[in-house]
Amino acid sequence: MSVSEEDYVTGSRPQAAATAAVSVQERPVVCVQGLGFVGTAMALATANARTADGAPCYDVVGVELDNETGHERARAINEGRLPIASADPRMAAALADALETGNLLATTDPEAYTRASVAVVDIALDLTLDNGAPTVDFTGLRAAIRLLATRLPTGSLVVVETTVPPGTCQNVIAPEMEDALAARGLPPDSLLLAHAYERVMPGADYLDSIVNFWRVYAGRTPEAADACERFLQNVVNVGAYPLTRVGSTTASEIGKVLENSYRATTIAFMEEWGRFAESVGVDLFEVISAIRVRPTHANMRQPGFGVGGYCLTKDPLFAEYGARELFGLDDVRFPFCRQAVEINRTMPLVTLDKVDELLGGLQGKRVLLLGVSYRQGVGDTRHSPSAVFVSHARERGADVVAHDPMVSSWHDDETLPPDLPAPAGFDAVVFAVPHLEYRDVDLELWLADARPLVLDANDVLSVDRLRRLAATGCRVWSIGRGPIAA
């Protein structure tokens, strides 16, 4: 594509469009629809895909919505900045490489789709509870699919990476595509539809979770599955991480929802064991480490501060919605999924209740919360358990100051201090997210003369470091361990 400064326009106003002049190229064009946490990584991985002789496989265009957020994300990529926070240096390196190669640009102009051989759908699909019943608003997804179907050349491949309720490709996306194609006077099979769910893990292995990880996929037709396989083989390191084809798009959709339901349920399961271990003075992390030696239990979860992010907090409920709304199965229930989501939602209150108990109440107390992103090495605060902790702590009369090395503002645009606050003047310090910045801090130097209650809510500090804190005179408690003595 050989993008130059003239190929896009960044206006002086925040809402000015970053548009791109996309022309017919020798290399196939891949459009990535949505440049959030998944789409950005997918666009970079695809732009850095290489043929056997080292040439770029694709020209890549990231396409965002024509709104303020979309303009800023497009502008960031075109200026060589990641639009999302990342602790993985390979993300910034991949962006720099793609811009130097000249096969990546970002735009808010949907006309980019008219040149695409492949469109990858990476947009959000939210789930809410309506009187306790999970509900999904497909308006945005339908509009996105219709946008593709009205512009893509015939024969193009549409790969849905968005996590959706089982049955969405069959009962929502395909009909929407066919209606738009019919309006163009085209037959329903003019575009190839596939589902290949993402397994993106923002953090230290952000880019690797696209390139060096196993992928599952399916096509609505055998031709679509074959086309999806050819595309993924160029992006994923299939020599070490082979692809898995399943029999239908619904099977692929179930795969993603089941994966995240399994993780959410096993995390929730560990909570009751954490409370038991704390009560009887056993280090549950020590027990879990001993169990993990057994290969069949190597991925056993552990207790922690809470579950956040965009996936585990909602994906387990997609199954119930899909069964009821897309397949009409009113008698199918998912009690484990529902209970897991509820347990994980209230998990931060376990830590808060313990701080409340150990301080003899929270009214008028000052609490320093270290970590507001939903996991380490990530600047994503969506559904952060820290938000639950802070809201309830303030309702109980506490003054809470939060800090996160990867987040500058959050929680209704509350500004966070850029530097790690000193503990002087705080009654309690809660380690909520195991960012490296917290793991590596010189605790004795940082404490100085302060002696707050220290509560490790997420296995942030080693037992040795917790004991050293106790030796300074701090009262120390660890979720999953209980009280820590010097």
Task: Report pLDDT digits (tens) over 179-191.
Answer: 999 999 999 999 9
Residue that terminates a domain, selected from 247, 275, 300: 247
Cα distance from N-terminal residue to C-terminal residue, the chain: 62
**135/212 same-domain check:** yes
Residues in a beta bridge with 106: 62
One domain, residues 206 and 277: no
CA–CA dist 120, 156 (Å, integer): 11
Same-domain status, 271 and 237: no
In a domain, residue 18? The reply is yes
Q: Are residues 143 and 217 in the same domain?
A: yes
| Nearest residue to 177 via CA among 211, 136, 147 | 147
Q: Are residues 191 and 100 in the same domain?
A: yes
Dig out the tokens for 296 from the structure.
């069949």
Same domain flag for 288 and 227? no
**400, two tokens:** 């809470």
Residue 78 and residue 209 share a domain: yes
Residue 390 lies in a domain: yes
- CA dihedral angle for residue 325, residue 330, residue 335, residue 337, rounded to 10 degrees: -20
CB-CB contact of 49 with 97 (8 Å):
no
Tokens of 395: 């309702």
Q: Are residues 461 and 376 in the same domain?
A: yes
Q: Do the beta carbons of residue 111 and residue 148 sit within 8 Å?
A: no
User: Where is the domain boundary, 247, 278, 307?
Assistant: 247
The token pair at 128 is: 């809410």
Q: Is 299 found in the same domain as 212?
A: no
Strand runs labelled E in 131-258: 133-136, 157-160, 192-195, 216-219, 244-245
Residue 392 covered by a domain: yes
Residues 268 and 241 placed together within one structural domain of the fold: no
Each residue's pLDDT expressed in tens, for the chain with a length of 486 residues: 444 434 433 322 233 333 344 444 589 999 999 999 999 999 999 999 999 999 999 999 999 999 999 999 999 999 999 998 888 999 999 999 999 999 999 999 999 999 999 999 999 999 999 988 999 999 999 999 999 999 999 999 999 999 999 999 999 999 999 999 999 999 999 999 999 999 998 888 999 999 999 999 999 999 999 999 999 999 999 999 999 999 999 999 999 999 999 999 999 999 999 999 999 999 999 999 999 999 999 999 999 999 988 888 899 999 999 999 999 999 999 999 999 999 999 999 999 999 999 999 999 999 999 999 988 888 888 889 999 999 999 999 999 999 999 999 887 778 999 999 999 999 999 999 999 999 999 999 999 999 999 999 999 999 999 999 999 999 999 999 999 998
CA distances from 326 to 166, 167, 227, 243, 313 (A): 8, 6, 26, 28, 21
Q: Is residue 31 part of a domain?
A: yes
Cα separation of 316 and 264, whole Å? 7
Amino acid at 328: G
**Within a domain: residue 447?**
yes
163 close to 256: Cβ distance less than 8 angstroms: yes
**Cα four-point dihedral sign 363, 368, 374, 375:** negative
Examine the domain organization and report whether 21 and 163 are in the same domain: yes
CA dihedral of 480, 406, 395, 303, whole degrees rounded to 10: -10
Express each pLDDT in 260-294 by its tens digit.
Answer: 999 999 999 999 999 999 999 999 999 999 999 99
Domain count, the chain: 2
CATH number of the domain within which 275 lies: 3.40.50.720
Range of the domain at 355: 264-484
3-state secondary structure of 369: strand
Question: For residue 343, is it within any domain?
Answer: yes
Residue 102 identity: G
Looking at residue 465, its amino acid is R
> What pLDDT shows up at residue 9?
35
pLDDT at 86: 86
Same domain, 374 and 480: yes
pTM: 0.89
Domain-located, residue 108:
yes
Alpha helix locations (H) across 322-422? 335-359, 385-395
Of 247, 277, 299, the one marking the end of a domain is: 247
pLDDT of residue 125: 95
Q: Does residue 431 form part of some domain?
A: yes
Which pLDDT value is given to residue 87? Answer: 86
